């Protein structure tokens, strides 16, 4: 029986999402921990890896990582103390800080990405076929608040091509 006004299908979909997210998150976090990398650290290092040698501005990293600036600063402090990132005053305006990976940070994220991608394939992708993946990609696109809130369940809009979605920091 559905609870709190949800239909049985809504309840099953929501509960399935929550349980699956939690199970996958814990397994992925546990496996990254063997490299001494938390999921939050992995996410930031991966964003910097994707940004290339120029790195990213601290404020952009915090925004993409969906953290408060204070929380992100503490995370960046830990990464800098470990010698994985370097922060320097922006050469563009001198007000903000730019963040880049150090050689140690690049080496660690390469190892962590190989591990993480292998784990994603084992725990997630291997259990889904291409149709399932396309359906999931469409769901995530529909739920993205920046993807066009005017699109509703009855709209015939085509989902964005797989490579056009926002970075997942995987």
User: What pLDDT band is residue 147 in, cutting at 50, 70 and 90?
Assistant: confident
pTM over 0.85? The answer is no
Judge whether 53 and 102 are in contact, CB under 8 Å.
no
pLDDT digits (tens, 9 = 90+) for 22-78: 999 999 999 999 999 999 999 999 999 999 998 998 888 888 877 777 788 899 999
Query: Could you tell me which of 99, 73, 79 has the C-alpha nearest to residue 87?
Result: 99
pLDDT digits (tens, 9 = 90+) for 88-136: 988 877 788 899 999 999 999 999 999 999 999 999 999 999 999 999 9
Fold of the domain spanning 40-119: Arc Repressor Mutant, subunit A (1.10.10)
Gap between the Cα atoms of 13 and 15, Å rounded: 6
Domain range list for the chain: 40-119
| pLDDT given at position 127 | 97
Q: What is the CA radius of gyration of the chain?
A: 19
């Amino acid at each position: 029986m559905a609870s709190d006004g949800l239909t049985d299908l809504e309840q099953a979909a929501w509960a399935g999402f929550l349980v699956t997210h939690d199970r996958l998150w814990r397994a992925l976090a546990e496996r990254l921990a063997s490299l001494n990398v938390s999921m939050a650290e992995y996410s930031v290092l991966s964003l910097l890896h994707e940004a290339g040698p120029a790195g990213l501005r601290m404020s952009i990293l915090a925004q993409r990582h969906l953290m408060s600036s204070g929380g992100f600063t503490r995370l960046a402090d830990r990464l800098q103390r470990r010698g994985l990132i370097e922060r320097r005053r922006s050469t563009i305006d001198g007000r903000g800080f730019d963040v880049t990976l150090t050689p140690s940070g690049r080496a660690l994220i390469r190892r962590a990405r190989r591990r993480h991608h292998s784990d994603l394939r084992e725990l997630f992708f291997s259990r889904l076929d291409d149709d399932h993946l396309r359906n999931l990609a469409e769901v995530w696109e529909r739920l993205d608040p920046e993807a066009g809130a005017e699109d509703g369940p009855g709209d015939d809009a085509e989902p964005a091509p797989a490579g056009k979605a926002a970075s997942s920091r995987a």
